[in-house]
Each structure stands twice: as C-alpha cells, then as structure tokens.
Structure 1
C-alpha cells in the first residue's frame, strides 16, 4: 500500500545524507521520539536540526508540540537514522515504512500534557494513516520515563517478535537494540484524538448501550476493553484530561457497585460534555 511521501505543509529540511532503502515486508509502523529539549522557540528548532544532522540521527519528521511546526528531512518511504541497529537487523528499515518523528520535548515531561496540536499535526497523522498504519500500540503504551537505566517504568521488554511482526505505533523505549526511554508516558488517547479534524461519530446513550451489550455477549471484550471503548465512542465534544479521568472513575465505580452495563455507560455519559441538539439529531438520523 503506497501512501503520502511528502507531508503537505511540512518544511523541507536538508538531511546530512539520504535515507536508506526499505526492503522489508513487515507491517508499516511509526516510532515516536523526544529530542530532550524544551519546545516553543525558533532557536531550539534550529538547534535541534543541527544536533540531529551532526549526529547523523535524523528521523523523517521533526515536530514542535507548542507551535505546531512541522519539518521533514526525507521522504516517508525511506529509512530514517534515529534508531540503533539491533545486531544485524537494520532497525530503521523494518516495516514497509518506518516513519520516525522527533518531537521537541522531554521524556520526563510528556508533551501531551501541555501541547497545542494543530493542522500540521493532523497533516502528519493523515500521512501516517495513508500507509495503513492503525491507531494501535503493539508493545503497549509508552512507559513512564525514569532517569536511571533501563530509562522507563515499567521496564519495556523491547520484544523483537513484536517489533518484527506487528505494525502500528511504537516509542523509542519499545525498540530492541536501543536503550533510550523516550517519549515517556505520553497519552495515547490524546495522541489519536488530536489527529481528527472532525469529532468521532457520535452515539446516543441508547445506541451505545446496545453496542456494548453486543460486545459483552460475544465475549470479545474484557472490562478494560469495554471501558476503553466507552471513553472513545461516547465523545460528547472534545473531552479534557480531567473529564476522561472522571468518566473512567465513574465507570469503575458503577461496575464495583454492581450496576448493569447500561447503568455504567449512563454514568460515563453524565460526566461528558452535553451533546447539543443538532448532534443528537444527526446521531439518531444516522443510527
């Protein structure tokens, strides 16, 4: 599957050398890094370009999470240079594409706690999805960064089996043959939510209760999966981190109190932003 090669709106940055040829048939993936510098200024932007080029460690993409500035060193269909090799495995070239993004920020302070994503971030994620890369983290969410080796907590297994065989999103902290702990414990929910230019398809509470009951009856969801889908699908507008946390707690409290699934979903809905009349009408019409 061929996708976007040059991201619309991204600044072209000349790399120290061209990227490597991709010969892998493994599923496509993204790797998230942080530069370990504070974002938000042109001086830091220029400095990070110099550092990456001097180290010959350029990714395909550089991003400032405060200014939404996006730069691209090389096409997305070649290998970057921000990963160490894993023995004889050319790690930067694993996957039909292996798109690497350096976010200007620090692993100890996850950028999703303060960022201001805009149209350039959405353009990046649209390019990622154009290659068939799904919104999944095969090795789990990026672990919290700690200063001492192995630089993350809980310790990432850096599984070769997962890395070589499963596509999706990874942190540098997940990659075999590497020892960095970036990007730290970023919010994967916020990462994907900010990629959308329009709200997710909305459900009425009644529609959502029916969907969750069907999932439960099929035995295809654990309690965690039901909760995850609740937070994602019942999107009454754009939720804040606080709203998501309160919705999460409301669901757990209802289940622990012996409430039904419908009652637990209603408890989640109660702490979301109210759906307006127009969106309610469209949800019912489309449902």
Structure 2
C-alpha cells in the first residue's frame, strides 16, 4: 500500500495551535496602501492645514485671481503647490481671526477648501470664516475677506517665489457682469464668447480715465467696445468687446492699465462663466 504510506506519513498541524482560544487573535492587518501624496514633499500636507476652524456663524466663498501667472517663463508654479501655499496661509489667518468670535455659539464650519480652474491662476476659496473684525454693516464691508490680500501677496512672494498682483471677487460682482453686459454673447461655446473679455482692476476707476479709454477706442476706428458695469457690485472691472481677438486688439489689458493708471488682469468670458458657476 504505497499510496497509503505516503498519505499517512504527512505531518498534520498541531490541534493545540490552530484551535487555541486562550488568547484573542490580533485584528487582521489592512491590505490597503495609503494614497500617495501628489504635493511637493517639502510643502506642508493639505491635511495638516484644512482642519475645521473654530465655530463661526457663516462662511464665505471667493474667486482669487493672479496676474501673469504661468505666462511664458515668468512666475511658473504648479497648481497643487500654489494651492498648498494658499491653504497654509489661510489656515494660519483663520486661527488668529477666530479669536474675535465665540467658539461656543455656532457649529463648526467645513474645512477650508481651495480649488483651481485652469493653470493661469484662478482659485476658488471655499468655506472661509467671515470677517469678524468688521464693525460696519454695509454690503461692501461684509464681503471683505477675513484675511489681508496684501499679506497673502507678500507671503506667496517669500514662500512660493512668485511676484503677482492678486484680485479678489465674490459671486454677486460676477453675476452682475454676466447679467447686465450689453454685448450679445450668445450661447455657451459660440465664437463671440471668445471675443468678450473682462479686465479685473485693483480699485474703482476714475470717471475721467474711463471716458479717456472710451474716447481712445472711438478714435481707433475699430469695432472694439468698452463697458463699465458701474459702481453697483464693486465696479472694479472693465468689459471689452474685441472682435479681432486679443492678439490683434488695439485696446487690450495693457492699454486699459495704462489709461486707467492701475494694474489689472484679464479673463475671457468663458472663464468668467465657469468661475461664477464654481462660486454658486
């Protein structure tokens, strides 16, 4: 019986080991691997800077625009790295700003969130705490952020090594432009949408400078047009109709900056629509 001998010669496992219940078995180890971070190792992880801020009654959402970011070889930075730097700054400012409010009177906010649209510097800042240092009840003051825009600009210059002017907008100002712009933009995706552009400005333009800009466009004899939305929801924008495109425009962003005497950054109509949708 060779087959039986071979079968009986096999070593059986000890019953005392396989069926022992004297000590609880350790929990099985998870086979799932932790996700790899896509951020630069030297930067703080977003998980360490997006913890919920102290209790506040409401939150704010803003569109943060950068001037001349990732244009040619100037001010090159990836969006994940830029987002990480902005998150670190906002979280540090949120911690100091929250000392003006009560931490027992309102539920916690969602974690501060920063997302990007395209690579040219369009960031959506969500779940920001309100500006608790303001004592005014006016509409313009209530829309002011809890942080200092020049302070963020300085922080990014020191830590991200980018030199860019920053512009901050809320949904009402974008909606006002989209609703009242006199230029017929047609449906989304039409050719005319590529010819309407918005120049976001640092401050309110002067009426004399605006009239000089309109007169300059009229003298050029082109089909270009300039529209100022008025001081209704901020008024720090100028809308341009450029039928021949930006490349051949006689009144581009550079001309607007020169005539109005201030810095600005230009975005296309499609970008304006998309960013307004992200702010809703």
TM-score by length of 1: 0.28
Q: Which has the higher strand share?
A: 2
Name which one, 1 or 2, has greater alpha-carbon Rg.
Answer: 2
TM-score by length of 2: 0.29
